[in-house]
């Protein structure tokens, strides 16, 4: 085993071995400690083996019986009407809450008491404490009259006495996410274990059956008491309907309509007919009068249809023919012609008189029709008033009818349920909503003790405990020394005090680097004493003086919501220090899986030459793929994503969605994502990234009392960073002074 420089010095001066040890114990020293106490470890292991072997052969074996019950509805079309179950007589929802409720029912005291009676647990020494041998103290208390035993004749007290042991041996649980309930019962007698599981299942089913019978019996009793009262209410409601109907004259005629409605309809029909007759007579009289005034009375159909007028018209036609014949030989003023014309005028007068009589007849008919219209209108108005009162009474009648119909429907429902309850008031009809699907068989092998596993477990536990005690003794009494290891390492040549990562608690609690101790002469190497030389390397100053191992260990303790970890690395002053520190952190954190370094920078100015390689800004803008932006370096080195071409600012508010998408994709691929922010004072950069990171690392080459460092620390905390870690590197003059 390599030796420290102190041990090398001890090879010359023969210092005590206790002072040459380091502050840690290695595997070789553990093996030496165990070998030195081999007899003790072997003796304890052998004693545990013998004791466990004796226990498994002496201990009373315990057997277990298991029965299984399936929860399901056992109603069918013959035990329950289909119309009462929505068309599916077996439809019943049994969810996890229902299964848990039935498990509680199986473990209830009622089921336990009945099962204990049937199994005869009272008086069984395995379950009844009074049947077991009394210890000396209990015997003395019993003789002194201070015994706490109950009255053996009290059956309830005896049952209560065995329930504690009963529940200790009972296990009821749901099998997976199914509706199957397993009942396990343990006993030293295999026959009792199997019978116990079966009896508990049978008692549970009988409890369900009795509950359904009691429910049906109570329902039938309650329904029978209310059906007679409901019948009387239905009879009274229907009587009120008929009495109100007859009292208000709302008698029903044909077509299921009231007499008032029928009379109103008849009057409306008659009034329409009278108005049609009136309009027809007035129109005919007016037309005939106009034709008479125009001298065309003989063209009127009513006039032409009259027998007298028809004969007059025939005479007029013959007379006009005679006048035409005489006019061929006689002049107009001839007496013969004048006489014929006088006869023709007389005939025209007779025809006009006949037409006027027809007009007067039609006018009389119109007056009669008008009078009938007035009479029917008055009668209709009066009937409408009667119908209006009838409608008001009809509203009350319908309300009474609805009440009577509701009472009738309720009576019918009660009668149907009463018949169903009567049909279920028997053990054959009240089927429990569960059945035994697996009965317990008599077990052949005990569940305790299992000889092989018990012996092996006891022996291994004993060996582990004694070995742990030996190792702890070596650590406590042989390893820790008063001199701290940091002081010894500080005295070695070439030592420079590293500054590990630490968290600033505030301006008043800044970390302080340890002061280097005075150098000691170098220890001889490779020489005498016959001792093995253990070279001591100086403290490792990785990445410009930072202790990367300590910093990685500090970041490894940061709690994250998921398996991935986001770390923001920045510095007090702008420069390349964050990139160097992130590179070494990525190599350390990515020992199991590669880490990812992401350079976050604002878009370059128009004066500088833009980058040509796609990077983080292009990913956020959606103008490049992850394959194009990620550089996959060699084994052991973290992958890298550059700043990008700078088309857009990846930290701008309008690019927030793209930023979240890119960071989420990094988390799903890499175990650690290190966001390198060269300039922590860029506007909005620290506030945007700190709230999305699991930890913020601030690198600085300054003392912890620097006000700028404290301000930057507080800004990171105010931005929402869950953890802020400050890594301090020694300044140049301190490093020179330490060297």
pLDDT tens sequence across 546-587: 778 888 888 877 767 666 788 989 988 877 788 888 888 888
Residue 386 has pLDDT above 50, yes or no: yes
Nearest to 600 by CA among 617, 613, 587: 617
pLDDT tens-digit series, residues 702-717: 877 888 888 888 888 8
Q: Which value, to the nearest 10 degrees, does the dihedral of the CA atoms of residues 710, 716, 722, 723 take?
A: -40
pLDDT tens-digit series, residues 241-275: 888 777 776 666 555 566 667 677 777 888 788 88
Per-residue pLDDT at 220: 80
* Structure tokens that stand for 73 in this block: 């509805």
Nearest to 536 by CA among 551, 552, 522: 522
Structural element, H or E, at residue 641:
strand 639-641
What is the β-pairing status of strands 180-187 and 63-71? antiparallel
Contact 181, 71 (CB under 8 A): yes
Q: What are phi and psi of 374, to 5 degrees?
A: -65, -40
Per-residue pLDDT at 184: 95
Percent of the chain's residues with pLDDT above 90 = 14
Residue 294 has pLDDT above 90, yes or no: no
Per-residue pLDDT at 562: 64
Percent of the chain's residues with pLDDT above 70 = 71
Nearest to 433 by CA among 711, 119, 79: 79
Contact 696, 600 (CB under 8 A): no
Residue, of 7 and 732, whose pLDDT is higher: 732
Per-residue pLDDT at 537: 32
Per-residue pLDDT at 254: 52
- Which of 128-137, 473-482, 629-638, 667-676 is the least confident region? 473-482
* Cα separations in angstroms, 561 against 69, 106, 176, 447, 722: 43, 42, 30, 42, 11
Strands of the sheet with 180-187, listed across from one edge: 170-174, 180-187, 63-71, 434-438
Per-residue pLDDT at 416: 83
| Cα–Cα distance for residue pair 46/49, rounded to 1 Å | 5
Nearest to 26 by CA among 50, 53, 2: 2
Across the strands, what pairs with 300?
none
pLDDT tens-digit series, residues 332-355: 888 888 888 888 788 777 777 777
Expressed in angstroms, the distance from the first to the final Cα of the chain is 29
Contact 200, 374 (CB under 8 A): no
| Cα–Cα distance for residue pair 427/68, rounded to 1 Å | 23
Neighbours of 443 (CB within 10 A): 19
| Cα–Cα distance for residue pair 507/511, rounded to 1 Å | 10
pLDDT tens-digit series, residues 18-40: 333 344 455 766 777 788 888 88
Examine residue 730 and say whether the peptide bond preceding it is cis (omega within 30 degrees of 0).
Answer: no
Per-residue pLDDT at 425: 64
* Structure tokens that stand for 576 in this block: 């390349």
* Structure tokens that stand for 600 in this block: 């976050």
Nearest to 567 by CA among 386, 722, 448: 722
* Structure tokens that stand for 259 in this block: 């007499």
- Beta-carbon contacts of 658 under 8 Å, excluding residues fewer than 6 positions away, are 619, 620, 621, 622, 650
- Beta-carbon contacts of 271 under 8 Å, excluding residues fewer than 6 positions away, are 373, 376, 377, 380
Average pLDDT, the chain: 74
Q: What are phi and psi of 432, to 5 degrees?
A: -70, 150
pLDDT tens-digit series, residues 83-136: 454 444 444 577 888 899 999 999 999 999 999 999 999 988 889 888 766 555
Strands (E), 492-624: 565-571, 596-599
Rg (CA), the chain: 58
Residue, of 204 and 283, whose pLDDT is higher: 204
3-state class (DSSP) for residue 546: strand
Structural element, H or E, at residue 692:
none
* Cα separations in angstroms, 731 against 79, 304, 582, 700, 706: 93, 141, 20, 9, 13
| Cα–Cα distance for residue pair 203/166, rounded to 1 Å | 15
Per-residue pLDDT at 477: 59
Average pLDDT over residues 293-306: 65
| Cα–Cα distance for residue pair 665/669, rounded to 1 Å | 7
Angle between helices 451-474 and 38-58 (to 10 degrees): 150
Residue, of 255 and 444, whose pLDDT is higher: 444
Per-residue pLDDT at 432: 81
pLDDT tens-digit series, residues 471-530: 887 776 554 433 333 333 333 333 233 333 343 433 333 333 333 333 333 333 333 333
Nearest to 571 by CA among 726, 734, 733: 726
Residue 158 has pLDDT above 50, yes or no: yes
* Structure tokens that stand for 399 in this block: 């309300």
* Residue 540 per-residue DSSP state: P
Per-residue pLDDT at 28: 64
- Which of 55-69, 347-361, 594-608, 716-730 is the least confident region? 594-608
Instruction: Note the pTM of the prediction, 2 decimals.
Output: 0.42
Residues in the chain: 739
Per-residue pLDDT at 107: 94
Q: Which value, to the nearest 10 degrees, does the dihedral of the CA atoms of residues 243, 249, 252, 257 take?
A: -130
Contact 550, 20 (CB under 8 A): no
Per-residue pLDDT at 438: 93
| Cα–Cα distance for residue pair 426/428, rounded to 1 Å | 6
Angle between helices 190-247 and 109-119 (to 10 degrees): 140
| Cα–Cα distance for residue pair 642/640, rounded to 1 Å | 6
SS (H, E, C) 489-506: HHCCCCCCCCECCECCCC
Q: What is the CATH number of domain 548-738?
A: 3.40.50.300
Structural domain boundaries of the chain?
A: 5-59+450-490, 63-221+428-438, 254-424, 548-738
* Cα separations in angstroms, 637 against 360, 600, 619: 127, 19, 22
By CB atoms closer than 10 A (0-12, 13-18, 19+), residue 119 is buried
| Cα–Cα distance for residue pair 507/253, rounded to 1 Å | 103
Residue 394 has pLDDT above 80, yes or no: no
| Cα–Cα distance for residue pair 387/405, rounded to 1 Å | 25
């Amino acid at each position: 085993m390599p030796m420290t420089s102190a041990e090398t010095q001890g090879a010359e001066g023969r210092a005590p071995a206790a002072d040459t040890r380091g502050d840690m114990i290695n595997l070789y020293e553990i093996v030496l400690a165990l070998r030195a106490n081999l007899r003790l470890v072997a003796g304890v292991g052998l004693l545990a083996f013998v004791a466990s072997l004796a226990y498994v052969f002496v201990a009373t074996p315990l057997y277990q019986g298991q029965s299984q019950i399936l929860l399901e509805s056992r109603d069918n079309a013959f035990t329950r009407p289909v119309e009462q179950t929505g068309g599916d007589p077996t439809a019943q929802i049994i969810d996890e809450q229902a299964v848990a409720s039935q498990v509680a029912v199986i473990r209830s005291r009622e089921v336990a008491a009945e099962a204990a009676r049937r199994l005869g647990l009272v008086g069984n020494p395995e379950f009844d404490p009074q049947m077991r041998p009394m210890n000396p103290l209990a015997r003395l208390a019993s003789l002194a009259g201070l015994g706490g035993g109950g009255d053996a004749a009290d059956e309830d007290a005896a049952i209560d006495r065995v329930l504690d042991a009963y529940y200790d041996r009972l296990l009821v649980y749901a099998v997976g996410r199914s509706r199957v309930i397993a009942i396990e019962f343990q006993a030293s007698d295999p026959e009792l274990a199997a019978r116990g599981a079966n009896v508990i299942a049978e008692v549970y089913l009988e409890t369900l059956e009795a509950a359904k019978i009691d429910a049906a019996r109570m329902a039938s009793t309650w329904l029978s008491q209310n059906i007679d009262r409901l019948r009387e209410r239905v009879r009274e409601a229907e009587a009120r309907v008929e009495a109100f109907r007859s009292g208000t004259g709302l008698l029903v005629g044909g077509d299921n309509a009231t007499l008032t409605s029928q009379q109103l309809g008849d009057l409306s029909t008659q009034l329409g007919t009278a108005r049609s007759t009136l309009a027809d007579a007035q129109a005919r009289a007016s037309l005939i009068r106009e034709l008479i005034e125009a001298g065309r009375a003989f063209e009127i159909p009513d006039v032409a249809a009259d027998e007298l007028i028809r004969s007059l018209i025939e005479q007029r036609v013959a007379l006009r023919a005679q006048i035409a014949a005489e006019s061929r030989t006689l002049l107009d003023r001839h007496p013969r012609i004048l006489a014929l014309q006088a006869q023709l005028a007389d005939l025209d007068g007779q025809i006009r008189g006949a037409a006027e009589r027809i007009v007067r007849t039609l006018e009389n008919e119109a007056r009669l029709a008008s009078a009938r219209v007035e009479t029917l209108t008055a009668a209709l108005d009066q009937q409408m008033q009667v119908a209006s009162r009838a409608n008001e009474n009809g509203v009350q009648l319908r309300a009474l009818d609805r009440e009577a119909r509701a009472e009738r429907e309720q009576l019918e429902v009660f009668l149907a349920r009463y018949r169903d309850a009567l049909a279920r008031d028997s053990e054959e009809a009240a089927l429990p909503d569960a059945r035994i699907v697996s009965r317990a068989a008599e077990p052949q092998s005990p569940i305790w003790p299992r000889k092989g596993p018990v012996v092996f477990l006891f022996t291994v536990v004993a060996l582990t405990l004694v070995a742990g005690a030996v190792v702890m003794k070596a650590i406590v009494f042989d390893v820790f020394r008063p001199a701290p290891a940091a002081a010894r390492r500080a005295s070695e040549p070439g030592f420079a005090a590293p500054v590990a990562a630490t968290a600033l608690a505030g301006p008043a609690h800044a970390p302080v680097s340890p002061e280097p101790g005075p150098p000691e002469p170098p220890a001889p190497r490779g020489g005498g004493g016959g001792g093995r030389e253990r070279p001591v390397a100086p403290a490792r100053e990785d990445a410009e003086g930072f202790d990367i191992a300590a910093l990685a260990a500090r970041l490894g303790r940061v709690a994250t919501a998921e398996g991935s970890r986001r770390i923001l690395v920045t510095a007090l002053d702008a420069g390349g220090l964050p990139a160097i520190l992130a590179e070494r952190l990525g190599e350390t954190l990515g020992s199991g899986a590669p880490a990812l370094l992401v350079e976050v920078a604002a878009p370059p100015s128009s004066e500088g030459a833009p980058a040509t390689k796609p990077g983080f800004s292009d990913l956020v803008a959606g103008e490049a793929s992850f394959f194009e932006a990620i550089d996959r370096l060699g084994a052991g080195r973290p992958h890298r994503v550059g700043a990008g071409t700078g088309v857009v600012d990846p930290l701008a508010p309008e690019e927030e969605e793209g930023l979240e998408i890119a960071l989420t994709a990094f988390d799903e691929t890499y175990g650690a994502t290190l966001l390198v922010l060269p300039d922590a004072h860029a506007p909005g950069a620290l506030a945007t990234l700190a709230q999305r990171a699991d930890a913020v690392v601030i690198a600085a080459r300054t003392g912890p009392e620097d006000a700028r460092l404290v301000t930057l620390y507080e800004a990171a905390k105010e931005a929402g960073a869950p953890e802020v870690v400050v890594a301090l590197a020694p300044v140049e003059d301190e490093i020179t002074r330490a060297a």
